[in-house]
Amino acid sequence: MQKTIDSMLNEKLKDYTIILASGSPRRQEYFKQLGLDFEIRLKEVEEIYPPNLKSNQITDFLSELKGKAFESQIKEKEVLITSDTIVWHKNQALGKPKNKQEAYAMLKSLSDQWHEVITSVCFNTKGSQKTESCITKVKFKRLESSEIEYYIEHFKPFDKAGAYGIQDWIGLIAIEEVQGSYTNVVGLPTHLVYKMFDELIE
């Protein structure tokens, strides 16, 4: 019987312990869909970055910062994956909104505009870090105030960078065009994760 690509990858990784340091159900689901055996480890990290950083410099820094929180705990043959996503719009990083007012302001600013969704993925092993990033361009239609209010009230996007999830109702009615990785906009560029695993075991 011919093995699938995913099971072949899992077979190659059999000597490694794969750890996902993320509480995001979307990232966890993607790891399952990739056919990977993994465990989850979580640690609170204060996500503060130097103000001079821009674009993927921010997500690179934060994904590496999250990895460094586990630095002394990573053993031989363990690979800990950390990640960070922002929405980059008008030279500004939009993270997770703290309340309804912030969510509304973010979505209003994205209305009828292009923006970038940027995710960095960091592979942390004993004594080393490797980080790569992915950028996807997304175009919103002009959003009515009533649509923004409806979305915030019913979907409460406070755990999502830029105050929206492409897989939610707003993605169905408002996103006109996507240039680049769709899974990146959901929260994890799966093609990049797969490539980094492949390079790890070469």
Strand partners, 84: 120
Chain centroid to CA 48: how far? Answer: 17
Q: 3-class DSSP state for residue 116?
A: strand
Tell the residue number behind the tokens 């007012």, with chain if given.
101
Q: Which residues are catalytic?
A: 84
DSSP string, 136-157: EEEEE-PPPHHHHHHHHHHH--
Residues 6+ apart with CB under 8 A from 73: none
For residues 144 and 108, the answer to whether their CB atoms sit within 8 Å is no
